[in-house]
Amino acid sequence: MTKKRIKVKVNGRSVEKEVEPRTLLVHFLREELSLTGAHIGCETSHCGACTVDVDGKSVKGCTHLAVQCDDSQVLTVEGLAKGGVLHAVQEGFFTQHGLQCGFCTPGMLMRAYRFLQENPDPTEAEVRVGMSGNLCRCTGYQNIVKAVLYAATKLRDSQRVAA
């Protein structure tokens, strides 16, 4: 098979690499770029642990080819915190105990990050629908929902201050 040269912006940094077409995005991130935040869970697009942002949309990195990301912008959990300060969704999961083992957390954070841009003022029910592509086997979801609602409030407040 012919390798393809791709140019991707990952967490704001331009990357140029040759990839085998069959390389999945999640493997590219973990093995080529050493960004191991996106986790490989089910590998069948069910669990959402591999969720990252591609061109402003949440996708599952296990069911997306790296070669499809040529000219794309990818954001992973490593790109969420800025200047050592946690993003509101990270702060939410931390303060609201939104994790136990932590395996699903990077995917949860990346989905929560994008979901709150799609819907900045969600109801609890909307959070549950918006996060329904991410599975957690520890928490029972209650604190994950709390964490996302916490982040929603914090993001709205910070926008009000900025305005």
Is there binding between residue 137 and another protein (CB under 8 A)? no
For tokens 């942002």, what's the residue? 53
Find the shortest distance in angstroms from Cβ 162 to another protein: 27
User: Which of these segments, 10-18, 60-68, 80-88, 91-99, binds another protein (CB under 8 A)?
Assistant: 60-68
Q: Which residues contact 152 (CB under 8 A, 6 or more apart)?
A: 116, 120, 121, 122, 127
Choose among 75, 66, 67: nearest CA to 25. 66
Q: Which of 11, 58, 76, 139 binds another protein (CB under 8 A)?
A: 58
Strand partners, 18: 5
Report 87-106 residues binding another protein (CB under 8 A): none
Is there binding between residue 34 and another protein (CB under 8 A)? no
Is there binding between residue 65 and another protein (CB under 8 A)? yes
Q: Write the burial class of residue 41 (CB in 10 Å: 0-12 exposed, 13-18 middle, 19+ buried).
A: buried
User: Which of these segments, 73-81, 127-135, 136-144, 152-160, binds another protein (CB under 8 A)?
Assistant: 127-135
Q: How many residues bind another protein (CB under 8 A)?
A: 31
Q: Which of 29, 38, 39, 60 binds another protein (CB under 8 A)?
A: 60
- CA gap 45, 110 in Å, rounded: 15
If DSSP codes are grouped into helix, strand and coil, which group holds residue 140?
A: coil
Question: 88-95 and 105-118 are packed helices; what angle lies between their axes, rounded to 10 degrees?
Answer: 130
List interacting residues with another protein (CB under 8 A).
1-2, 4, 20-24, 27, 43-46, 48, 51, 57-60, 63-65, 67-68, 70, 111, 115, 129-130, 132-133
